[in-house]
Amino acid sequence: MNAAILSPAEYLQQGNMGRHETFAPRYGWLVKGCRAVQEDPHIFKASNAIERLGVGKNMVASIRFWCLCCKLIQPANGGAYQLTELGQKLFTGPKAYDPYLEDEGTLWLLHWQIFLPRLEAVAWPLAFNKCRLASFDIKQLAHFLHQAGQAYERWQEISSHTWERDASCILRMYADDRANGDIDSPFTRLGLLCRVPESNHFTFNIAEKPELPPLIFAAACFSYMHHYAGEGVRTVTLAKLSYDFNSPGVVFKIPESAVGSLLEQAAEALPFFSLEHIAGNLQLHLREKNLTPAQLYWLALEKYYKESK
C-alpha cells in the first residue's frame, strides 16, 4: 500500500523547491483551485485561466502550486490535473466536509499535508525540522535554509535569493502580522509563527496549541505512520511522534506532553487505537488488525467533520 519508506535525506533530495511565485496561499485560493480543476482538468493551461480564476498570471501558477503542495490535486494525463480524494472530500460535492474552508481544523490538516511526500516545497520541512534559531528575520531564516540545503546535493546550487523568497513566503504564510496590515494568509490563524514585539524578528511558537483539534491531530499521526513508519507497523512511540523528521509534534510545533494529551482525547472519540506502555515507552497502538493507518486517517477525519457540523 505504501511506497518504500525513504530516509529524511532521500525525501528531501526527491522534493521540489517552492513554486509559489512569492505568494503565500490566500483566502479562497485552495477552494477556488479545487473547484476549477473539478470543472476543467486543464484549467491551469487554459488561455482564459486568468479571467476564470479572477487572479493574475503568476497567481494562477501559485494556486496550482498550493493545491499540489497540500495534496488537494495531482497531475493527470496530458498536462491535466485531477482532485485527490482529500480535495474531493473537503471542498466538492453535496457532502463536502468544509466547502468554504471555514473550519480551522481544515487549516491544521492542510498544514500537515504540506509535509507529506512528495515534498513540493523543501524549505518548509527544512525550516520546521531543522531551524533551532531562537528568533530570526527574513535574511537570517534565508541564510539558515541556504546552509541547511548544502547538505543535499540537489539543493547545493540553489541561489541565496531563491532561499530568501522561500523564507519570506514562510513568514508571510504563518506569522500573524495584523499589526502591519498583513492578513492575506488563512494559515496565520494557526499561531505557528509569532513576531517578536517591537522588532522585525519572528519565532516559532512551540507551546501547546489548544485550538488544534484532537481528531485532526490523530489523523496526522495515522498519516505519519502510513508515510514514514513502514508497511505493517502498528505501534509508534510518542517520542517518534513528537521529535522525528516531519512528525506531527515537529510539524505542529507542540511538546511531547501535548502529543499525549491530544491522542488521549482523540482515543475517547475514536476507539480503534490506544496509548499503551510497551517496553517502558508510551506508544500509540492500533487495536484493530483489519484497519490500516491510512484507513484510520479517513475514519478520524470523517468523525471530526461529522461532529463539527
- The pLDDT tens digits of the residues spanning 234-268 come to 999 999 999 999 999 999 999 999 999 999 999 99
Question: Any idea where the domains of the chain sit in the sequence?
Answer: 1-15+104-205, 29-100, 214-308
pLDDT at 299 over 70: yes
- Pairing type for strands 193-195 and 81-83 reads unpaired
Cα–Cα distance measured from residue 85 to residue 96, given in angstroms and rounded to the nearest whole number: 11
From its phi and psi, is residue 111 left (phi > 0), alpha (psi between -120 and 50) or beta?
alpha
Tell me if 307 sits within 8 A of 296, measured CB to CB: no
CATH topology of domain 29-100: Arc Repressor Mutant, subunit A (1.10.10)
pLDDT at 191 over 80: yes
Higher local confidence (pLDDT), 110 or 231: 110
Name the residue with cell 511526500.
117
CATH topology of domain 214-308: Arc Repressor Mutant, subunit A (1.10.10)
Tell me if 113 sits within 8 A of 86, measured CB to CB: yes
pLDDT on residue 296 = 98
Tell me if 223 sits within 8 A of 175, measured CB to CB: no
Cα–Cα distance measured from residue 71 to residue 74, given in angstroms and rounded to the nearest whole number: 7
Q: What angle do CA 133, 186, 41 make, to 5 degrees?
A: 115
Contacts of 269 (CB under 8 A, 6+ apart): 214, 215, 303, 307
pLDDT on residue 184 = 85
C-alpha cell at 199: 522588532
- Confidence band, pLDDT 50/70/90 cuts, at residue 3: low
Q: What percent of the chain has pLDDT over 70?
A: 96
- The pLDDT tens digits of the residues spanning 116-165 come to 999 999 999 999 999 999 999 999 999 999 999 999 999 999 999 999 99
pLDDT at 25 over 90: yes
Q: What is the pTM of this model?
A: 0.96
pLDDT on residue 182 = 55
Cα–Cα distance measured from residue 246 to residue 258, given in angstroms and rounded to the nearest whole number: 16
C-alpha cell at 5: 519508506
Mean pLDDT, the chain, as a whole number?
Answer: 95
pLDDT at 4 over 80: no
Tell me if 146 sits within 8 A of 160, measured CB to CB: yes
pLDDT on residue 6 = 85
Average pLDDT, stretch 27-42?
98
* Angle of the 293-308 helix axis to the 214-224 helix axis, nearest 10: 160
Contacts of 132 (CB under 8 A, 6+ apart): none
Q: What angle do CA 304, 305, 309 make, to 5 degrees?
A: 120
Tell me the CA distances in angstroms from 164 to 22, 246, 292, one per residue in order.
10, 22, 40
pLDDT on residue 230 = 83
> Would the CATH topology of 29-100 be identical to that of 214-308?
yes
Higher local confidence (pLDDT), 184 or 290: 290
pLDDT on residue 278 = 85
pLDDT on residue 1 = 41
The neighbouring-strand residues paired with 62 are none
Calculate Rg over the CA atoms of the chain. Answer: 19
- Pairing type for strands 73-75 and 235-237 reads unpaired
pLDDT on residue 72 = 99
Tell me the CA distances in angstroms from 39 to 48, 127, 163, 256, one per residue in order.
14, 35, 35, 43
pLDDT on residue 98 = 98
